[in-house]
Structure 1
Amino acid sequence: MFIHLGGEKVIRSSELIGIFDLSIERSSKISKHFVQQASLENRIEIIGEEESKSLVVTRSRVYYSPISSSTLKKRAESISHQLQ
């Protein structure tokens, strides 16, 4: 199954590790360090031109999505229920 992250970006649900509100980047030193390291490794992708609202972590990349974390979580949960 797939999850639409915004713009033209779609990922496999099996690649998803976590969906976070963007405020976590400002409030957590660990999160900030994680994002900085991903940036150094060129694993960051900003989706679209709109303001980013969430951070989506997959096995290979970190995405800044213009879609809220709550909406993305609902999409992921919907897929999870379909698989059961």
Structure 2
Amino acid sequence: MFIHLGGEKIIRAAELVAIFDLSIEKSSKISKQFITYANKDKKVEVIGEEESKSLVVTQTKVYYSPISSMTLKKRAHHLLTN
């Protein structure tokens, strides 16, 4: 199964590790460090030109998605429970 993250980006549901609201980036020291390291390793991708609303962590990349974390979580839950 696949999950649409916004724009033209689709990932395999099996690759999904976590979905976070973008506010976690500002409120957590650990998440700031995680994003910093991901940027250094060039494993961060911004999807589309709209304002990002969520962070999607996969096994290989971190995506900034214009779709809210709640919507993405609903999509993932729907796919993983069917």
- TM-score norm. by structure 2 comes to 0.99
Unmatched tracts of structure 2, length 5 or more: none
Matches of 2:4 and 2:22, distance apart in 1: 17
Q: Deviations over 1:10-29 (max 9, x none)?
A: 00000000000000000000
Match of 1:77 in 2: 77
Match of 2:61 in 1: 61
Q: SS of 2:60's equivalent? A: coil
Question: Which runs of structure 2 are paired with 1:9-48 in the superposition (5 Å)?
Answer: 9-48=9-48
Match of 1:6 in 2: 6
Displacement of 1:70 after TM fit?
0.1
Matches of 1:62 and 1:16, distance apart in 2: 10
Count of residues in Structure 1 that have an aligned counterpart in Structure 2: 82
Unmatched tracts of structure 1, length 5 or more: none
Matches of 1:21 and 1:27, distance apart in 2: 11
Matches of 1:16 and 1:32, distance apart in 2: 20
Q: Deviations over 1:7-57 (max 9, x none)?
A: 000000000000000000000000000000000000000000000000000
- TM-score norm. by structure 1 comes to 0.97
Matches of 1:55 and 1:36, distance apart in 2: 13
- The runs of at least 4 consecutive aligned structure 1 residues that moved more than 6 Å come to none
Q: SS of 2:72's equivalent? A: helix
